[in-house]
Structure 1
Amino acid sequence: MTSKIRVLTTESIPNAMVSAAVFWGAVVCAIVNVIELEYNIAALVTPSTPSAGSGQIIGGLIAGYLYTGTRREALQAGGYAGSLPILVFGPVALVLHIGTQATAFTLEYTLLQYAFGFLLVYPFMICVGFLFGGIGGFVGHWISKTLT
């Protein structure tokens, strides 16, 4: 299964330019998400609300702007840039978020939260990050083509 995913990922990134665009888009996305997490007013009101949005759009915008190929490939690059930070840092955030509540609930309820989080919320947030990153990649590619 892992080798199939690796082959599909390798086939979907046709050249090294997409990799650099995805890398820089993902770095910007992760930085914006950390800053947004620190200063998010909505998180102070409802701390259980998952957030994927502005960081993914900005990271996708950077990836789409840096990519010089077709619009479809720029959309993919933006999607990858938007979903990679969630893919990498999502489990850590999920464990820390549920772990802070673990002392208030029973073990069964905490395990149910982990199962629900990793089976439903985590894949959903990756898809949302890919969607928002793709939107940013589309806009970034459009800006790049408009300015040249």
Structure 2
Amino acid sequence: MPDRLHGRGPHLAARHSCPQGNPGLSVTPTERRALQAVVAIACLVPLTIGGISIVRGPGWLDHAPAIPTDLDSQFRYVSGIFFALGLAFTTCVRGIERKGARFRLLGLLVVAGGLARLLSWATVGAPSPGHRLGLVMELGVVPLLMLWQARIARGR
């Protein structure tokens, strides 16, 4: 009712009564652009490795001379998912402060993959250095990026 006394409709009052973001949190445009740049660069990993793995199969990892067809099939399938994950993350770069739900879902998929890789390490043994780097990305870098994105979203 007070809004009508001041000549404002109820829709305007509702919009102003619930401001977006956190007014106490200071996020600069530079910090937002830095997150966008880091995410864009990080997307190169699944796009590059996934793309190479789709085209060349597991043979490019220089392990077994003869790769079973089912292993090749599974490897290329998972590589396709990895490549698509990279594409999906690229859709979060523009307007990253508004893409929280998508970013968290994609990040959760990466963390789940990292946990599976950690299980492999515990049951089969340590992977090669490249796969250890993947584990750092999956269980370290991506969760930190998720926290950073949430900070940017809260401060918008």
Tell me, yes or no, whether TM beats 0.5.
no
Rg larger in structure: 2
| Structure that is richer in helix per residue | 1
